[in-house]
Amino acid sequence: MQERLVELKTEALEKVAQAEDAKALQDVKVQYLGKKGPITEVLRGMGKLPKEERPVIGQMANDVREEISTAIDEKQKKMEEAALEKQLQEETIDVTLPGRPAQTGGPHLLTSLIEEIEDLFIGMGFEIAEGPEVEADYYNFEALNLPKGHPARDMQDSFYITEEILMRTHTSPVQARTMEQHKGKGPVKVICPGKVYRRDTDDATHSHQFTQIEGLLVDKHVRMSDLKGVLNAFAKQMFGEEREIRLRPSFFPFTEPSVEMDISCKMCGGEGCSVCKGTGWIEILGAGMVHPNVLEMAGYDPNEYTGFAFGMGPERIAMLKYGIDDIRHFYTNDVRFLNQFHKA
């Protein structure tokens, strides 16, 4: 009996030493110390022993049980410590590592460009004026010398809410509204930035929604040379001191005379290249002297007051300035595109 207990003890301690994880250790515990284990069996069989041997074997069996139990507890403690140590090592934080950069947003390229143009004109004494994007036919067309049935309306087909209300096709109605507010008296000197809408099929150079910036100056004795001076200052500040401007005759219903303004091509210096289509010049904006009918409808006496107006597309200016080849890049919100201009 004693030999059997010594044997069991050696066997069990060996298995404890060999156990590699908590599960193996638990198995050893159940196998040797469980209710159906060999030591319990020994204790159960005590009745068959001679009386004088019983205390000796009992004591021994308890000692063996105690020893195995202690060995299991110690092993378990070691395993837990090792696991903790391993975890600590794996989760070490290296405080000297550089942090992950936080993703920050920034103004959209068009927003930045419009603000740049605004600043430029504010520097020349203009104020910012804004108006509704859902506009009355009267302000969008009629007050700008485009009566119903006028053929020039065809170029500005839009999205109509009703017969008389539409998404504005240009920022020019803000000019009509601003002049009207002045009730025919005193100077007006504003630029009007904002979104406009046309019923266009989207492609590389067309979009059904885009932005415009218009300028209007009305006062006594305003001349065409004043317009040229303002546009020249704008072109040089926007595109570079070395740029020249050129005014070509054009037609707009709300100005008379009307002009298109070109700037000299930066790529070829006027020699002619693919960017300027061989002409040496790049078209930037439309302008002209405010039509007497427009002044009169807004309440100004065209015999006393004159004025000039101009309008440009920030998308077109951004495309020229930064070499962007597709207008759709502005609206598809691809961060790879947008990120390039955060510090532009």
Q: Which residues bind Zn ion (CB under 5 A)?
A: 265, 267-268, 273, 275-276
**Cis omega before residue 38 (within 30°)?**
no
Kindly state the smallest distance separating residue 278's Cβ from Zn ion, in Å.
8
Give the residue nearest to Zn ion (CB): 265
Identity of the residue, 153 or 266, whose beta carbon is nearer to Zn ion in the bound complex: 266
Kindly state the smallest distance separating residue 272's Cβ from Zn ion, in Å.
6
Of 288, 224, 220, nearest in space to 256 by CA: 288
Six-digit token string for 264: 């000299």
Kindly state the smallest distance separating residue 117's Cβ from Zn ion, in Å.
23
Q: What angle do CA 248, 249, 255 make, to 5 degrees?
A: 120
Identity of the residue, 45 or 269, whose beta carbon is nearer to Zn ion in the bound complex: 269
Dist. CA 300–CA 293, nearest whole Å:
9
Identity of the residue, 19 or 265, whose beta carbon is nearer to Zn ion in the bound complex: 265
Six-digit token string for 63: 């000692």
Identity of the residue, 5 or 263, whose beta carbon is nearer to Zn ion in the bound complex: 263
Kindly state the smallest distance separating residue 239's Cβ from Zn ion, in Å.
13
Kindly state the smallest distance separating residue 285's Cβ from Zn ion, in Å.
18
Identity of the residue, 235 or 265, whose beta carbon is nearer to Zn ion in the bound complex: 265
Spatial strand order in the sheet of 127-128? 127-128, 188-197, 209-219, 306-312, 281-290, 255-264, 245-252
Identity of the residue, 132 or 270, whose beta carbon is nearer to Zn ion in the bound complex: 270
Of 266, 196, 277, 268, nearest in space to 238 by CA: 266
Cβ atoms of 190 and 216 within 8 Å: the answer is: yes
Which amino acid does the sequence have at 268? Answer: C
Residues in a beta bridge with 249:
259
Q: What is the DSSP string of 114-157?
A: HHHHHHHHHTTT-EE----SEEEHHHHTGGGT--TT-GGGGGG-
Kindly state the smallest distance separating residue 247's Cβ from Zn ion, in Å.
19
